[in-house]
Amino acid sequence: MNVEVYSWEKIIEEGKARIIIPDPALFTRSDGKYEPAWAPVFYNPLMKLNRDLTVIITRTMYPSGGFFVEALGGSGVRGARLGVEAGMEGIINDVDPIAHYYIRRNIILNGLENRLEAYMHEANSLLNSLTFTGVFIDYIDLDPYGSPIPFIDSAVKPLAKKALLGVTATDTGPLTCSHPRKMLRRYGVRCTDVDFSKELGLRVLIYNLVYRASGQDVALYPILSYSYKYYYRVFFKTIRSSQACYELLEQCRGYIWYCRDNLARDYIREPGEIPRFSCRDPVVLGPLWICSIGDYGFTEDILSRGYEDIYRDGVEFVRSIRSDYLVNTPYYRYDMLFGRFKKNMPPIREFIDRIRDYGYKAYRSHFDPRGVKTDAPYEVLVEVVNAF
Ligand SMILES: C[S@@+](CC[C@H](N)C(=O)[O-])C[C@H]1O[C@@H](n2cnc3c(N)ncnc32)[C@H](O)[C@@H]1O
């Protein structure tokens, strides 16, 4: 069916989908940069990587398609891509009538009327009511403005017994402790400045989502998560099982102690377990997620599928983040470590090689260009630094 495209609109291509959006040229700042929040319907080209990964992961998990709900749909670009590129059926929802209008037209533009439906509900009320329909949902996507916390309780309810959940959080200010009061209010953590603030934020986010879902007997396992520019993204495999929830929290809920003066840190299960030798004035942060933030095996699976031809950036990105899943200790800012010991900083590669010479794992971290992930005990790290 034909869709009329007006003079103030444009058709853009993303992945294999075509999307009508209000002409970006009408919503640019004085420096010529497009400002998605000014447009009557939200389409952010900077989130293409986020959507590429959504397609890659749903295709990997559901090679013969499945049923999805995109609760916060905006222009409908993500849902349309799931329809066209992942062969899925589903619902694209948005409470805003203008967004709904674009979603409807974008479904038609891509010839997906038989597989996708546009809904116009408040996301929580839609997700809550879907719980009782008997529809098994394989994938739910939460892509809100800001924090996903207002939506997580209802999002886990309609998921099938085994399913997939994708969550974006753009409230990186509170999560990285730039707004400590908001961090406490929203995520229950009294935070302080740390050299691994980006990883702290992701671990606090993952824990909060897992904890709230487990209250409804849905266990969330992070299979791929990352920090990118101004947002976090986490994909979880989900299982409805009270026993799995108990085991997950028993194993993966914890705290981290941290010494501001010498950058020593480690995970503990309870706040009282800080070792006496740590430093003069350690701080304890948490509760947070103390297990791996992703599944290395799952990334192997993605990389073995030959997606490079279509999703080169997405595949490259997966390759660049997955070493963060091999070492659990939060990354050290190596510039701060060398500063602390008043040593001249070698090139980061040399530092990493030297740690490896001692027989430990060491990698660059996707969180920070100055970040080094290593499982070397703190004392070994100090020895390596002092040997330069
Ligand atoms: C960040 S945009 C979504 C972008 C989209 N997922 C994408 O990939 O381009 C967030 C959307 O959520 C919608 N929204 C905000 N609060 C909502 C709610 N409570 N229920 C349903 N939609 C909501 C907004 O209208 C907006 O279109």
Report whether residue 42 contacts ligand 1, using a CB cutoff of 6 Å.
Answer: yes
- Would the CB of 73 count as within 6 Å of ligand 1? yes
Q: What is the reported pLDDT for 349? A: 97
The answer to whether residue 277 scores a pLDDT higher than 80 is no
- Per-residue pLDDT of 9-63, as tens digits, reads 999 999 999 999 999 999 999 888 999 989 999 999 999 999 999 999 999 999 9
Has residue 41 been placed in a domain?
A: yes
Beta carbon of 47 within 6 Å of any ligand 1 atom: yes
331: domain CATH number is 3.30.56.70
Q: What is the DSSP annotation of 188-218?
A: -------TTHHHHHHHHHHHHHHHHHHTTTE
Identity of the amino acid at 107? I
Structural domain includes residue 86: yes
**Number of domains making up the chain:** 2
**Given ligand 1 and candidates 35, 72, 232, which is best to mutate, with the most ligand atoms within 8 Å of its CB?**
72
How is residue 326 annotated by DSSP? Answer: T
* Helix, strand or coil, per DSSP, at residue 122: coil
Q: Are 96 and 35 contained in the same domain?
A: yes
> Does 122 contact ligand 1 (Cβ within 6 A)?
yes
The verdict on 30 and 135 lying in the same domain is yes
Q: Does 279 have pLDDT greater than 90?
A: no
DSSP single-letter state for residue 346: P
User: Hunting for tokens 């533009």 — which residue is that?
Assistant: 109
Same domain, 77 and 147: yes
Q: How far is CA 176 from CA 125, 272, 286, in A?
A: 30, 24, 13
Quick one: residue 87, left, alpha or beta (phi over 0 = left, psi -120 to 50 = alpha)?
left
Question: Is residue 363, in this structure, part of any structural domain at all?
Answer: yes
Confidence of residue 339 (pLDDT cuts 50, 70, 90): very high
Which ligand 1 atom lies nearest to the CA of residue 78? Answer: 8
Q: Is the CB of 145 under 6 A from ligand 1?
A: yes
Residues 14 and 107 occupy one common structural domain: yes
Beta carbons of 230 and 218 less than 8 angstroms apart: no
Q: List the beta bridge partners of residue 266.
A: 257
- Residue 253 sits in the same domain as residue 330: no
Q: Return the biggest CA–CA distance within the chain.
A: 71
Partner residues linked to 162 by β-bridges: 239
22 & 133 share domain: yes
pLDDT value at 278 more than 80: no
Domain match, 261 and 325 both:
no
Quick one: average pLDDT of 146-170? 98
Q: What is the Å distance from ligand 1's center to 325 Cα?
A: 30
- CA-CA distance, 112 to 118, in Å (whole number)? 11
User: At 125, which helix (H) or strand (E)?
Assistant: helix 123-130
Contact assessment for residue 372 and residue 360, using Cβ atoms and an 8 Å cutoff:
no
Of 256, 289, 322, the position where a domain reaches its end is: 289
pLDDT level of residue 275 (50, 70, 90 thresholds): confident
The predicted structure's pLDDT at residue 39: 92
Asked if residue 147 and residue 86 are part of one domain, the reply reads yes
- Average pLDDT (83-92) is 98
Residue 369 and residue 273 in one domain: no
- What number is the average pLDDT over the span 84-111? 98
pLDDT tens by residue, 103-146: 999 999 999 999 999 999 999 999 999 998 988 899 999 999 99
Question: What is the value of pTM for the model shown?
Answer: 0.97
Q: What is the CATH number of the domain that holds 231?
A: 3.40.50.150
Asked whether 82 and 54 are in contact (CB, 8 A), the reply is: yes
- Tokens, residue 135: 């529809």
pLDDT value of residue 281: 87
Last residue of a domain, one of 273, 289, 305: 289
The verdict on residue 1 lying in a domain is no
235: amino acid identity, one letter: F
Asked if residue 345 belongs to a domain, the reply is yes
Is 357 in the same domain as 231?
A: no
Res. 1: pLDDT tops 70: no
Specify if 72 maps to a domain: yes
Instruction: Give mean pLDDT, residues 270-281.
Output: 85
Co-location of 256 and 302 in the same domain: no
Q: How far is the CA of 66 from the centre of ligand 1 (A)?
A: 22
Q: Which of 289, 311, 341 is the last residue of a domain?
A: 289
Assess whether 83 and 152 both reside in one domain: yes
pLDDT at position 291, please? 98
The DSSP element (H or E) to which 99 belongs, if any, is: helix 97-109
| Structural domain containing residue 365 | 296-386
pLDDT bracket for residue 327 (50, 70, 90):
very high
Question: 78 CB less than 6 Å from ligand 1?
Answer: yes
Mean pLDDT of 260-277: 91
Is residue 277 situated within a structural domain? yes
Q: What is the mean pLDDT of the chain?
A: 96
In a domain, 4, yes or no: no
